[in-house]
Amino acid sequence: MTIVIFGGNGDLAHRKLLPALYNLHVDGLLPPRIAIAGVGRKDTPDAAYREFAKDGITKFSRRPIDEQAWQTFAAMLFFVKASLDGEQVLAPLGARLDIIEHERGLPGDRIYYFALPPALFVPTVKQLDRARFVNRTGDPVARLIVEKPIGRDLDSARAVNDAIAGVFDERQIYRIDHYLGKETVQNILVMRFANSIFEPLFNQKYVDHVQITVAEEEGVGTRAGYYEQAGALRDMVQNHMLQLVALVAMEPPHALDADVIRDEKLEVLESLRPIEGAAIDANVVRAQYAAGFDLGKPVPGYREEQGVDPCSRTETFVALQIFIDNWRWAGVPFFLRTGKRLPKRASEISVHLKEVPPILFNANPAARLDPNVLSVRIQPDEGFSLGISSKLPGPHVRVYPVKMDFHYGSTFGGSSPEAYERLLLDVIAGDPTLFMRRDAVEAAWRWVMPILERWAETTTDSLPAYPAGDWGPVEAGQLVESTGRRWRAL
Ligand SMILES: NC(=O)c1ccc[n+]([C@@H]2O[C@H](COP(=O)([O-])OP(=O)(O)OC[C@H]3O[C@@H](n4cnc5c(N)ncnc54)[C@H](OP(=O)(O)O)[C@@H]3O)[C@@H](O)[C@H]2O)c1
């Protein structure tokens, strides 16, 4: 196998891809014969590229460098200079890859990874076609990994998908949503379908509501150029959060087959109740962080960040109330919130069960019992917990909320593989289960489009603000409180 990373000297390769490949190598999970070729515009000798990789691994790998493992890994790394601007630019790359593959006895099975600015996805796939790098027969293997974002709206996503489909079959395409590679996210299906205790409860009969939070402590940092064009709805909700909704809400698939699972997830996306017109103002809150504090240190507001338009209307926070109009979830609100500069980094799904009847222990209207909550912590401190009511020891019957808590770290020890490790391994094995199929990407865009369009039209009202270090604007609290519920404290 040859892995060709377009954008091989970029930030993603440095922080995620090369460290992930190194860890797979240390675990003995890479194919015995493999070459990894980074591609970029800068003139970079192989030795310098290996140093670049070593630096990334030293700084970002979950395991420290082991000199012996590093030496064998370094020997797999190459760099090929190629600018993707212009015509017929891949001929020299093809010649170099042929030599590398010949020297290492590789059959020419290749994975092409687009770790590139999204504007280069379409031109590069056309270049691959012109250079005759791709065949649809599977011999030799040609697979494509595409990073997010796929488009910035439905039309542009379709254009990217059309261009890629002109060169690769859908089964050769692996659209990354790195959230789906996280252990805890994969565990959602295991938790739901490998235990008889939870699944019977996952429906409108027993579930009062579901909350999904993806909170970032960091501000926009150095990514203003990208983020100004994206905002929280595009950056987080359209992809990661709707994927989490799909996993929590999907019907049991009849097999662990990639397309069976992806069909069931698609069903959920297609059952999302459209939020349109005035309903958007009532069900979707957007906001921007103002100056505030991060761990006691003053930090600037979004509009004061480097590279951000001082009049920017890009949302750094979004909260939504959504419904899935199918039999299982009829009438159950799903509350989603995500934002930058929130008090801490935390991603969690919580399933809030209905209260017990107001009889016996729950009879006092002034002291209602806490309903049971099943919470899945995606990061940090991966695990899940179930909040239940228990009797406080002593002569009186006093009920107290306790937790049954499972922590990955203490139960299984060691560090879990990074999402990119799992995802790269799956592409090498040809398993697309954890990747986004074209129809799902477009269904998610179709659903968010009315919101994006309304926001684009409403440019006069002021955007709600929240001080950096707070859990979003008051409007986000009101969104949930107006239904008689509260955001869960994280
Ligand atoms: N960084 C992350 O954590 C992250 C997370 C999720 C998704 N992504 C996605 O991953 C992709 C890459 O992101 P990144 O952060 O790694 O970007 P980056 O640091 O800006 O790297 C871009 C890469 O593309 C190469 N490149 C740019 N223009 C080129 C051209 N005309 N011809 C050939 N190569 C060219 C650059 O090579 P030269 O420098 O040699 O020109 C560089 O290696 C983007 O689609 C991004 O949305 C990134």
Same domain (yes/no): 99, 185? no
Query: Is the predicted pLDDT of residue 400 greater than 90, yes or no?
Result: yes
- Residue 169 domain-assigned? no
- Same domain? For 112 and 218 the reply is no
Confirm if 440 and 265 have CB atoms less than 8 A apart.
yes
| 128 and 61 share one domain | yes
Name the residue at shortest CA distance from atom 10 of ligand 1: 115
Average pLDDT over residues 154-163: 97
pLDDT band at 88 (very low <50, low <70, confident <90, very high): confident
Q: Is residue 195, in this structure, part of any structural domain at all?
A: yes
**Does this model's pTM top 0.85?**
yes
Give 313 Cα–ligand 1 centroid separation in angstroms: 25
- Whether the pLDDT of residue 409 is over 90: the answer is no
Rounded percentage of the chain residues whose pLDDT exceeds 90: 91
Identify whether 161 is part of a domain: no
Judged on CB neighbours under 10 Å (0-12, 13-18, 19+), 156 is middle
Q: Indicate which CATH number applies to the domain containing 8.
A: 3.40.50.720
Res 79: pLDDT = 97
Q: Inform me whether the pLDDT recorded for 415 exceeds 90.
A: no
Does residue 133 lie within any of the structural domains?
A: yes
Residue 295 pLDDT greater than 90, yes or no: no
Residues 260 and 397 both lie in one domain: yes
Q: Is the CB of 115 under 6 A from ligand 1?
A: yes
Residues 136 and 204 in one domain: no
The whole-number pLDDT of residue 324 equals: 98
pLDDT at 381: 84
State the pLDDT at residue 52: 98
Residues β-bridged to residue 351: 210, 374
59 and 204 in a common domain: no
**What are the pLDDT digits (tens) for 213-222?**
999 999 999 9
**In ligand 1, which atom is closest to the CA atom of 226?**
47
Q: Is the pLDDT of residue 20 over 90?
A: yes
Q: How far is the CA of 224 from the centre of ligand 1 (A)?
A: 15
Is 240 considered catalytic here? yes
Whether pLDDT at 390 is above 80 = yes
Last residue of a domain, one of 93, 125, 147: 147
**Which neighbouring-strand residues pair with 386?**
374, 404
In a domain, 490, yes or no: no
Residues 126 and 269 in one domain: no
Does the structure show a pLDDT above 90 at 227?
A: yes
**What pLDDT does residue 106 have?**
96
* Atom in ligand 1 nearest the alpha carbon of residue 41: 40
Longest dimension (CA), the chain: 83
Residue owning the nearest CA to atom 37 of ligand 1? 40
Contact of 52 with 22, CB cutoff 8 Å: no
Residue where a domain stops, chosen among 98, 125, 147: 147
State the total domains in the chain.
2
Identify whether 175 is part of a domain. no
pLDDT band at 459 (very low <50, low <70, confident <90, very high): confident
The mean pLDDT of 247-275, rounded to a whole number, is: 97
Q: How far is the CA of 18 from the centre of ligand 1 (A)?
A: 14
**Of 147, 168, 200, the domain-final residue:** 147
- pLDDT, mean of residues 3-7: 98
pLDDT at 478: 97
What pLDDT, on a 0 to 100 scale, did the predictor assign at position 89?
84
Q: Is 148 in the pocket of ligand 1 (CB under 6 A)?
A: yes
Spell out the SS3 assignment of the chain.
CEEEEECCCCHHHHHHHHHHHHHHHHCCCCCCCCEEEEEECCCCCHHHHHHHHHHHHHHHCCCCCCHHHHHHHHCCEEEEECCCCCCCCCHHHHHHHHHHHHHHCCCCCEEEEECCCHHHHHHHHHHHHHCCCCCCCCCCCEEEEECCCCCCCHHHHHHHHHHHHCCCCHHHEEECCHHHHCHHHHHHHHHHHCCCCCHHHCCCCCEEEEEEEEECCCCCCCCHHHHHHHCHHHHHHHHHHHHHHHHHHCCCCCCCCHHHHHHHHHHHHHHECCCCCHHHHHHEEEEEEECEEECCEEECCHHHCCCCCCCCCCCCEEEEEECECCCCCCCCCEEEEEECCCCCCEEEEEEEECCCCCCHHHCCCCCCCCCCEEEEEEECCCEEEEEEEEECCCCCCCEEEEEEEEEHHHHHCCCCCCHHHHHHHHHHHCCCCCCECHHHHHHHHHHHHHHHHHHHHCCCCCCCEEECCCCCCHHHHHHHHCCCCCCCCC
22 plus 83 within the same structural domain: yes
- Residue 184 in any domain: the answer is yes
pLDDT single digits (tens) 95-136: 999 999 999 999 999 999 999 999 999 999 999 999 999 988
pLDDT over threshold 80, residue 414: no
Ligand 1: which of 9, 112, 116 to mutate, judged by most atoms within 8 Å of the beta carbon? Answer: 116
Long-range CB pairs of 424-427 (<8 Å, 24+ gap) are 424/3, 424/17, 424/20, 424/21, 424/24, 425/24, 425/29, 426/174, 426/181, 427/111, 427/143, 427/145, 427/174
CATH number where 235 lies: 3.30.360.10
- What pLDDT, on the 0 to 100 scale, is given for residue 416? 81
> Residue 462: is its pLDDT beyond 90?
no
For residues 207 and 334, the answer to whether their CB atoms sit within 8 Å is: no
User: Is residue 216 located within the same domain as residue 280?
Assistant: yes
Residue 421 has pLDDT above 90, yes or no: yes
Asked if residue 170 is part of any domain, the answer here is: no
Q: Which two tokens stand for residue 375?
A: 């919470």
- Active-site residue (options: 178, 209, 240, 352): 240
Instruction: Answer whether 452's CB lies under 8 Å from 299's CB.
Output: no
Mean of per-residue pLDDT scores for the chain:
95
Is the confidence at residue 460, as pLDDT, over 80? no
Peptide bond into 393 cis (omega under 30): no
d(CA 52, CA 89): 24
pLDDT in tens, 39-64: 999 999 999 999 999 999 999 999 99
Confidence at residue 458, expressed as pLDDT on a 0 to 100 scale: 86
Ligand 1 contacts CB of residue 85 (under 6 A): yes
42 lines ligand 1 (CB under 6 A): yes
Ligand 1 pocket test target in 4, 9, 12 with most atoms within 8 Å of CB: 12
Taken as a whole, the chain contains a residue count of 490
Decide if pLDDT at 413 tops 90.
no
Residues 9 and 135 in one domain: yes
pLDDT tens-digit profile of 324-381? 999 999 999 999 999 999 999 999 999 999 999 999 999 999 999 999 999 999 988 8
The domain in which residue 11 lies consists of 2-147
Cα–Cα dist 408/392, whole Å: 28
Q: Please state, in angstroms and rounded to a whole number, the distance separating the CA atoms of residues 329 and 341.
A: 32
pLDDT of residue 303: 96
Do 129 and 242 lie in a common domain? no
